[in-house]
Structure 1
Amino acid sequence: MKKIAIHLFVVSLLFMYESTFAQSAQADLTKWPKGASPKEIGKRVADRFIATPHPNFGRPTPPKTITYPEVCAWYGALTFEKESKGAKLKIALIQRFEPFFKEEASLVPVPDHVDYTVFGSIPLELYMQTKEKKYLDMGQAIADKQWGPPEGPRVKEESHLYHRMGHTWQTRLWIDDMFMITAVQAQAYRATGEQKYIDRAAREMVMYLDSLQRENGLFYHAPDVPFFWGRGNGWMAAGTAELLRSLPESNPDRPRIMEGYKKMMATLLKYQANDGMWRQLIDDPESWPETSCTGMFTFAMITGVKNGWLDKEVYGAASRKGWLALISYIDANGDIREVCEGTNKKNDRQYYLDRKRLTGDMHGQAPVLWCATALLRK
């Protein structure tokens, strides 16, 4: 009997070990099947970005100014290049930017709207990587303009009210803003070390969280549109993670932002499908798997795991599933499929279900690059 008991004890220990090992393997963010590593995928998508002319929201004509989806993909390509140490890619990304100082200067957006101001995150990243002052001058001026006095044709009555309250006059309480605003302000902080940039971004984030976050941690597309649209929530998830990544522990707004972030991540965890994807309408099982929101949610979770904010086993497994699912939608050209087209708000479920599903749209390319970067970060 004693031998049997010892044998059973050893078997149970082995079973526990194997279960723990299997769990750890499912949550491993360092080892990948062939062709699925962040270095391989990131290079394919970054090379595709370099080869793509300036996009114009799917229109055949060139843009009048650089669009925010291109900025988001450009930022992703630059951060991926930094983490992967891709010297050739760095040169190509710098060369793509240089015409903005000369023949393509008219393509630099006027920073009078969040979708235009986010452009400043690119020269600020270039400054951090090259230390060339011309990039700092351009990027810092754009970041400062966002908190300067309201001016220009886009100024509304509420612009002055927000400015007097210490918020950016570009505030409009759209959930997209919490990537667009925090991206450029966090970049200004990283580039200069000046506390004011990260502090103002944190205050803005708290105001958006207090105004817009629902009981379950998610966000309606708009107060009058009670649908949890995937990419809209993706902007908030990615923006919160990006902000927390650089927000000092001593910042008084950090606990509130972390609370909002963790609440959102916990709910997203419940709605991740068995195949690793999230859907066009997050809580609607009949809506289609959508890649841009899947990439953004995966990025936010990877960042949380890497920084110790989220449980490594639980969210590491979700991150791994999300990444492997996401990259299965990338075609031979390096373009990702099933990207929701640019979407306005509408209080109509069918409107969201009927949105066009694009291939190679920068809204989808960008989060793939963010995820590749986050996976490579130590």
Structure 2
Amino acid sequence: MQQVADWQIANFDGLYSDRKKPHHPLDWTNAALYVGMAKWASMADDDTYYEWLKNIGEENEWQLHKRKYHADDHAVGQMYVELFRKYKDEKMIAPTKEQFNFLMFHPSQSALNWDTPYHQDRWNWCDALFMAPPVLAKLYKVTGEKKYLDFMMSEFKASTDFLFDKEENLYYRDERYFDKLDNGTKVFWSRGNGWVFAGLVNIMNELDPKSEEYAYFLDIYKKMAEKLIEIQTPEGHWAMSLLGQEFYPTPETSGSSFYVYGLAWGVNNGILDKEIYEPAVKKGWNAMASHVTKDGMLGYVQPIGAAPGKAWPDKTEVYGTGAYLSAGTEVYKLYGGE
């Protein structure tokens, strides 16, 4: 994990998946990296990683990214709340609170259908469930203000009612995939469901396990977990199209790392049966670690997309690193680390 974290910081502006310029520091891609980096920082032996994250916050005046309603541009708020927890500096979360307060008083009127105007002003694509809801859950936890929780619950339920396939216990990426088939199988994008699965964990970490809100997320989580170990590949990863292993044999490490993270968390918290799920975690983690180069670059990360595609051993992305670091923190605990 340290090797991967150090490599990523050293190559933070690197162009590793044919991009023409680096991502903006507040972009969702980097926000997903920061989520994992903050988890790694909490177990590292020094504050170097916290300082690196804090520097990004300071340079950007603790602002969220530019689109007021878009969940992708809210994701960096997760890192801000984690830094607030460590440093207790109110300015780190003040802009995030202000922006969500605005959204709650001026909620989007858009429908969740893909072709409606301003459709991504609400969480109508499954990636969004990793980006924005955990920020609201964290704000609820650190402020004690229930309005953040209530807003998150109503929007999350609307998205789930729209995107969740009750037969397969997986999420469609968005409305465009409801009736699509890929080689005769329904299209459930691996990283898209990885976003959701990791998002569920990051939300539940903030809630009272005895609350009805927690029970709602736990129900979805357990259904997904059961499906995920059914469809894990013999090599340990998950296919880019979750139901189409034979058509997508190439490993993919961003979605798969999120599954390892979520499953290991479930075992660690006594939610998933260790005898059943630990072998899947072990196989998954070993598969992920086998795709780290000797320098510390995580390979086989699918480039930015919205559907199953391709991945290569020499291509990476910051969100893949974030997923890997998230996974590692839970795997480390599972095998005896503090």
Contact 1:100/1:108 (<8 A) preserved: no
User: Cα deviations across residues 64-119 of structure 1 (Å, max 9, x unaligned)?
Assistant: 56210101111211121113343222223222332213xxx899434331110112
How high is the TM-score relative to the length of structure 1? 0.75
CA distance, structure 1, for counterparts of residue 324 and residue 81 of structure 2: 21
Indicate which of 221, 225, 248 corresponds to 1:261. Answer: 221
For the residue of structure 1 that corresponds to 2:227, the secondary structure is helix
Counterpart of 1:274 in structure 2 is 234
Aligned residues: CA RMSD: 2.7
CA distance, structure 1, for counterparts of residue 102 and residue 30 of structure 2: 21
CA distance, structure 2, for counterparts of residue 309 and residue 278 of structure 1: 21
Contact 2:139/2:148 (<8 A) preserved: yes
Shift of 1:376: 4.4
Counterpart of 1:221 in structure 2 is 173
The structure-2 alpha-carbon separation of the partners of 1:90 and 1:119, relative to structure 1 and needing over 3 Å to count, comes to closer
CA distance, structure 2, for counterparts of residue 265 and residue 66 of structure 1: 31
Number of equivalenced pairs: 316
Paired AA for residue 6 in structure 2? D
Paired AA for residue 242 in structure 1? N
Counterpart of 1:239 in structure 2 is 199
The structure-2 alpha-carbon separation of the partners of 1:65 and 1:112, relative to structure 1 and needing over 3 Å to count, comes to farther
Indicate which of 250, 261, 264 corresponds to 1:299. Answer: 261
The question of 1:365 aligning with 2:321 is answered yes
How high is the TM-score relative to the length of structure 2? 0.83
Contact 1:230/1:281 (<8 A) preserved: yes
Counterpart of 2:94 in structure 1 is 137
For the residue of structure 2 that corresponds to 1:265, the secondary structure is helix
Runs of at least 5 residues in structure 2 that lack an aligned partner in the other structure = 113-118, 178-185
Paired AA for residue 125 in structure 2? W
Counterpart of 1:48 in structure 2 is 7
Shift of 1:183: 2.0
For the residue of structure 2 that corresponds to 1:253, the secondary structure is helix
Counterpart of 2:39 in structure 1 is 79
Aligned residue runs from structure 1 range 82-161, under 5 A: 82-101=42-61, 108-150=65-107, 157-158=110-111
Counterpart of 2:183 in structure 1 is none
CA distance, structure 1, for counterparts of residue 310 and residue 48 of structure 2: 41
The structure-2 alpha-carbon separation of the partners of 1:119 and 1:206, relative to structure 1 and needing over 3 Å to count, comes to same
For the residue of structure 1 that corresponds to 2:316, the secondary structure is coil
Shift of 1:201: 2.4
Indicate which of 200, 204, 208 corresponds to 2:151. Answer: 200
Counterpart of 2:287 in structure 1 is 325
CA distance, structure 1, for counterparts of residue 325 and residue 204 of structure 2: 19
CA distance, structure 2, for counterparts of residue 174 and residue 107 of structure 1: 20
Counterpart of 1:32 in structure 2 is none
Contact 1:290/1:340 (<8 A) preserved: yes
Counterpart of 1:176 in structure 2 is 127
Counterpart of 1:34 in structure 2 is none
Runs of at least 5 residues in structure 1 that lack an aligned partner in the other structure = 1-40, 160-167, 346-351
The structure-2 alpha-carbon separation of the partners of 1:146 and 1:49, relative to structure 1 and needing over 3 Å to count, comes to farther
Paired AA for residue 222 in structure 1? D
CA distance, structure 2, for counterparts of residue 88 and residue 354 of structure 1: 34
Contact 2:254/2:301 (<8 A) preserved: yes
User: Cα deviations across residues 188-236 of structure 1 (Å, max 9, x unaligned)?
Assistant: 1233233332343233333333222211211223334240111111111
> In terms of Rg, which structure is larger?
1
- The share of aligned pairs that are identical, in percent, is 26
CA distance, structure 2, for counterparts of residue 106 and residue 139 of structure 1: 7
For the residue of structure 1 that corresponds to 2:233, the secondary structure is coil
Indicate which of 320, 338, 349 corresponds to 2:300. Answer: 338
